[in-house]
Amino acid sequence: MRRIFLSLTIFSTLLLIGAFALGLAIGDPRSVSAAARKLMSYHLLTSVAALIFATFVHAVLLTYFMGTSRWMEEARLAYKLDTRWNVENRRLKYRTIPLMAACLLLLILNIPIGAIAVDRGNWILPGGHELSPSRLHLVFSVLTITVNLAVNVVEYRSIQRNSQLIGEVVQEVRRIRLEHGLPT
């Protein structure tokens, strides 16, 4: 699972960075030139693909934890194992779920913020400061990519630890089966 997750994460991150690079290449999003419109189309399509793929990566991890949690629970009940493996597995799963939800929220919020970025004017903030919607989208995009990458690292480490837990459970099951003269 680690290699699969790592490959998916790398591709997802490259898609996000590609969408970001295309967004930077647009320059002024309020430009009406044909080249800017074409880049905006590519940026939009790449961004949607990156959003879908990043969501897929998080869904794969959630499915993995659901499956391994169920497997560990069934192994615990069948072989009367200690609950420590289940407790740690559950802790890993529930530590990553809020992080996944935060990533998904950031990814989804980029869509309306990007749409606002093509707004025709700047916003006047309290104190007379101006804020460009395209600058807001730029900052929010950097935040999204950074948070998504950091969460992917946490998710990968959780997969690593969960794999160790699975290995420990398998060893314990083998030991019990050998004690009872059962095939391993």
Domain presence at residue 29: yes
Residue 143 lies in a domain: yes
Domains of the chain: total: 1
Helix H segments across the chain? 2-26, 34-79, 84-117, 133-179
Residue 75, domain member (yes or no): yes
Is residue 155 in some structural domain?
yes
Does residue 154 sit within a domain?
A: yes
Structural domain of 165: 2-179
Residue 78 belongs to some domain of the structure: yes
Calculate the alpha carbon distances from 90 to 31, 52, 76, 93, 94 in Å.
Answer: 51, 27, 14, 5, 6
- Computed on alpha carbons and rounded to an integer, the radius of gyration of the chain in Å comes to 23
Confirm whether 184 is domain-assigned. Answer: no
Of 9, 95, 23, residue with least CA distance to 56: 9
Q: How many CB atoms lie within 10 A of CB 37?
A: 12
**pTM to 2 decimal places:** 0.89
For each of the chain's 184 residues, which pLDDT tens digit applies? 999 999 999 999 999 999 999 999 987 766 768 888 899 899 999 999 999 999 999 999 999 999 999 999 999 999 999 999 999 999 999 999 999 999 999 999 999 998 888 776 677 778 878 878 888 899 999 999 999 999 999 999 999 999 999 999 999 999 999 999 999 8
Is there a domain that residue 50 lies in? yes
CA-angle at 74, arms to 68 and 78, nearest 5°: 145
Chain position carrying tokens 């967004």: 23
Tokens 């160790």 found at: 164
Closest CA to 95 of 3, 161, 10: 161
Residue 123 belongs to what H/E stretch? strand 123-124
